[in-house]
Chain A
């Protein structure tokens, strides 16, 4: 056997899983099609991630957080508003006494920290610049086939290969897939005034417009735009783009300057019928891709990672084969409800807010104001988003595997 676990995809979910397993004494191999240097290049991934409290504990438990802390901006408050309406919802982390509500971190910084952590994990092997093209199951192993002809034999193959997961398709696992008629335009802006750690989400008719606080008087924009209009916006010259941006952003942070490239991401919903098959498990976007409206995509992926790592390690500590369905079913049972719920909530929010219909606007604004006025309801919503409710896996409680 070449490793206990082979992981297809060395992204934020796949590599975190590899580090978690390797640190717990499980030999793992991560295969990623992009060369390591390309994955941390400026143009590779311009997004930021909102790291919820539960995810932060996972990253701390696998020794990643200390490498990231300096590049993480705490979210002190969240302000949700509907277009120009005066009714809004304001979450204040400090008032709740629970510390920051989360952190905004550049994906590029997470990738750098992951690569450094991976290099210090002797039981983790990373094969970059290579692709898993298929697999064959034997009685007690699975062999992953690589594009360079190598075959890797393992107990379990994890598909963390993204929302279009080729391995999900190869395993014959069907998925509900729907395209949102929206594109996520992502860019970074520097502003004259400090953001004071306030994350803002504005519901504009085309979709949510999020302003996420970054380190050093910068903010990341997630600007959801109609898919048919996005290409024209992206093609604008710097001055016209800045003007369009400022129109939506407002002037509360002073003068704005776009730094770095603009990125565009088509928004898709994916829900796999099953998360597991014999000797195969899906994790992260391969199992569920959701609308970025609530900034929960990576958080769900990290929760998958925490539960899957725990499932594998617990099985091996009982002498059980971690690739068997009796073991893997436990992972699916623990993750499916949470992921599906978040998918439904984000999908509903997006449908509710991405329009300009009078009665719907009135209802949703009253809803926002109502939630704002009922502290227990507000706390419940927040704890869910922070990932600190329910039967948590050990890594999400900040404990070792």
Chain B
């Protein structure tokens, strides 16, 4: 967390300079040709995966523009809102949390400009667990590899899923190829990510992820890889889990929302 940034939760005490700074940052976050370009290119296939899987899980048609009407979705580690906003447009009521106050400020500024009602909070997963919250869907994308302790974090994620709900987790595999591509390639050669973004030792193997979620009632029913095509400079969903991958887990119990 950036110690110099103001806490945007204390809205009454936020000074106008801070708001302007968040707006400027939001512009950078959301500039698809700017420094988060790689993340913007990465987004459509993972959104498609989330949409397709959730539509199947909750028995919704994929053709409409609001398949998630009535679903409560929690996005843990929401950043500037690159996933939270599409979820809201698809009809979900979205809560986005991030450990970095600045990200929450950015996300709020952007959602407001876009006319989207998203509940953004500067909070950690355990705070919501303590409040006894439950969501139909919990998303935690590219977060697991950054948390201090993977086991307790995934346990909290699992607790936040309502019975019959779903969990989507995206992270990086701890393989030699992931080291070569995600760290040497993305940080040092291509410069897509700032150096030091990732620590290979914190990457999580799919078996570890599946094993950590099972005791907390989440059964991983699908694993999919995110594959980069260097010729097309695009990403797609595939079977190869060696670098970036997504896990879709379901919690037993009646599906409450229809």
Contacts and interface: CB of A to CB of B under 8 A. Distances in A.
A164 B33 CA distance: 28
A319 B89 CA distance: 5
B215 interface: no
A319 B82 CA distance: 10
Contacts of A316: 65, 89
B86 interface: yes
B27 A139 contact: yes
A246 B39 CA distance: 64
Contacts of A139: 27, 110, 113-114
Interface stretch (A92-100, A143-151, A320-328, A368-376): A320-328
B65 A326 contact: no
Contacts of A252: none
B40 interface: yes
- Counting chain A residues whose Cβ lies within 8 A of the other chain, the interface size class is 10 to 19
A325 B63 contact: no
A318 B64 contact: no
A326 B27 contact: no
Interface residues of B, number: 24
Contacts of A273: none
Interface string B62-79: 111100000000000000
A134 interface: no
Nearest to B41: A326
Given A139-B113, A140-B114, A317 B62 contact: yes
Interface in A278-334: 315-321, 324-326
Contacts of A321: 85, 89, 114
A140 B32 contact: no
Nearest to A328: B32
A254 interface: no
Interface in B10-29: 27
Contacts of A325: 32-33
Nearest to B44: A318
B47 interface: yes
Nearest to B40: A326
A43 interface: no
Contacts of A315: 44
A317 B63 contact: yes
A25 interface: yes
A319 B41 contact: no
Interface string B99-141: 0000000000010011100000000000000000000000000
Determine chain A's interface SS by DSSP, over half rule: loop
Contacts of B47: 318-320
Contacts of B64: 25, 317
B51 A324 contact: no
Contacts of B33: 325
Given A325-B32, A326-B32, A320 B27 contact: no
Interface string A89-118: 000000000000000000000000000000
A96 B167 CA distance: 54
B48 interface: yes
A325 B40 CA distance: 10
B86 A320 contact: yes
A319 B46 CA distance: 12
A320 B65 CA distance: 10
A316 B47 CA distance: 11
A353 B20 CA distance: 62
A319 B40 CA distance: 13
Contacts of B172: none
Contacts of B41: 326
A315 B90 CA distance: 11
Contacts of B213: none
Given A25-B64, A325-B32, A326-B40, A319 B113 contact: no
Contacts of B160: none
Which of B32, B87, B110, B114: most chain A Cβ within 10 A? B32
Contact of A140 (B44, B88, B113): B113
Nearest to A319: B86
Interface string A5-25: 000000000000000000001
A318 B113 contact: no
A139 B26 CA distance: 10
A318 B51 contact: yes
Nearest to B51: A318
Contacts of B65: 25, 316-317
A199 to B, nearest CB: 38
A319 B27 contact: no
A309 to B, nearest CB: 14
B88 A319 contact: yes
Contacts of B44: 315, 318, 320, 326
A319 B87 contact: yes
A319 B110 CA distance: 15
A319 B90 contact: yes
A324 B86 CA distance: 13
Contacts of B51: 317-319
Nearest to B87: A319
Interface in A24-43: 25
Given A25-B64, A140-B113, A318 B48 contact: yes
A277 to B, nearest CB: 11
10 contacts: A25-B64, A140-B113, A316-B65, A317-B51, A317-B65, A318-B47, A318-B51, A319-B47, A319-B87, A320-B86
Closest 7 CB pairs of A and B: A319-B86, A326-B32, A319-B89, A319-B90, A318-B47, A326-B40, A139-B113
Given A139-B27, A321-B114, 15 more contacts: A25-B65, A139-B113, A139-B114, A140-B113, A140-B114, A316-B65, A317-B64, A317-B65, A319-B85, A319-B86, A319-B89, A321-B85, A325-B33, A326-B32, A326-B44
